[in-house]
Amino acid sequence: MQLAALSLWATCAAASAIAFQTDAYDAGLFTPIETLSALSNSSYTALAHPAFPKHSVRVKKSKFCDGTVDAYTGYIDIEARHLFFYFFESRSNPDEDDVLFWTNGGPGAPSTMGLFWELGPCRATEPEGATYFEHAWNTNANIFFVDQPVGTGWSYADYGETVSTTEEAAVDIAAFVAVFFEHFVKFKGRKFHFAGESYGGRFLPLFGAAVYDQNKYLIEQGMTPVNLASVMIGNGMTEFSSMLLSYYDMACTAATIAPVVSISECVKMKQAIPRCEKWLKEACIDSWDAINCGAAYQVCQDLIDGPYQALGLNPYDITRPCDGELFSTVCYGSATKNIYNYLNTPSTRAQLNLDPYFDDKNFTGAAMPVYNAFAANLDGTRQTQLHLAALLERGVPVLIYVGMNDYICNWVGNLRFVDAMEWSGQQDFLEAPMDEWAIDGERIGLLKTSGNLTYLTVEGAGHMVPWDRPKEALEMVRRWLYEDNF
């Protein structure tokens, strides 16, 4: 889900540089758990590593959701901050299949929702609770779902500590990944993929860069580097200016459906585009000026995004009405309410092994304090595509997939940013043809690929591609992980 584009970024603080612990690694002081089967069903097992003295992991077996595989829940503990996660083994071949990390967006949208709504082993969108989901992405992969940053979903801080930039969040995720792989020997060297949607377009390039850069330090300390195999971004908010300007195309042209905004408003939007493009480039891209960038984003969002938002339509699927209040149901009515009800029942909470912190607190699908903290730092206006380009230069494949019916993180803005992204393969990508891709002879969307970069559309899907087209989304993932082409 995407929260970031629905409100305005405000003031700014300097982004934190990624720092790594480089303490000497003494193999004699470290004993790996080695196998997940050694974990307890009744209590947490603590995982630590001397190279990451501020980070540890608690994990235990948790029989829920998918009765066909082993499931685990736990916390990534960063001193007084605690990130909740789920881990499901592959339904096919857990000893050989790739490992996939999933995050939702926001910032402040919990990956718990991605699990129970979109691509997890069970769905809880109906009143009867969680039921087995045949098109889950753990069909062919071992998969993590992490509620991050701290304060999102089932994650919390003892004393109200916050994370307010993606750079800060990336440090914690990179450390967690290293500790996990170092403990569970069978996963060492296994292909590892970052995947997510929406504001994940900002998260994942930085998470991938942090893991890639951290590998140098792992090697120096005698640890096995993480085999970062790809980054997969669905309906991402990666380059904010391309996306903001694309709202005119989605609302005022037949980019996906007939125009929905009035002619008079569309004329005003069209007239604002050249000025906004120039202002955003000068204030946020060529040189980053906090006050000027914040003002440019606010004014231009009001001018170009405001008319669509004023209609009260569904920002995640322009072909559907908004069912319910946006910030409580994200326009999907009973589907999201049923998930909240399921997660707030005592039996579910007991299965998840939640910390006592949540004994008197209900699950919520949007953590507004997290969103506001990131917005205050104008985190979304940073040039995230630079990290993505750097990963491509280092041989890390990138998949950008987009549901055609999405408005808020739409196909037009995503195509413009990948076309404009500067890297050594840019010209070849620009010249590559846009082909159809299909499943069993049925056209699913369009595909453009060159080198390590692939851009792909999914017809009949909105912001949450696995929700709208689950079978097709699973096949997309299977082909991306295990085949050379679509």
Which are the catalytic amino acids? 198, 406, 463
435, β-bridge pairs = 447
d(C-alpha 470, C-alpha 312), whole Å = 27
Cis peptide before 259 (omega within 30 of 0): no
d(C-alpha 113, C-alpha 119), whole Å = 9
**What residues have CB less than 8 Å from 366, skipping those under 6 apart?**
1, 3, 106, 108, 109, 327, 328, 330
SS3 349: helix
d(C-alpha 252, C-alpha 338), whole Å = 35
Q: Which residue has the tokens 């004023």?
A: 310
Residue 284, amino acid: C
List the one residue out of 3, 4, 1, 5 whose CA is nearest residue 304.
5
Q: Which two tokens stand for residue 13?
A: 């603080």
The DSSP secondary structure of 93-117, one letter per residue, reads -TTTS-EEEEE--BTT--HHHIIII
The DSSP secondary structure of 310-345, one letter per residue, reads HTT--TT-TTS--BS-HHHHTTBHHHHHHHHHHHTS
Instruction: Give the H or E element holding residue 416.
Output: helix 411-420
d(C-alpha 10, C-alpha 17), whole Å = 21
Return the exposure string of 25-60: e unless at least 16 CB atoms fall within 10 Å of the residue's CB, then b. beeeeeeebeebeebeeeebbebbbebbeebbbbbe
Cis peptide before 107 (omega within 30 of 0): yes
Report whether 137 contacts 119 (CB < 8 A).
yes
SS3 48: strand
Residue 2 DSSP code: B
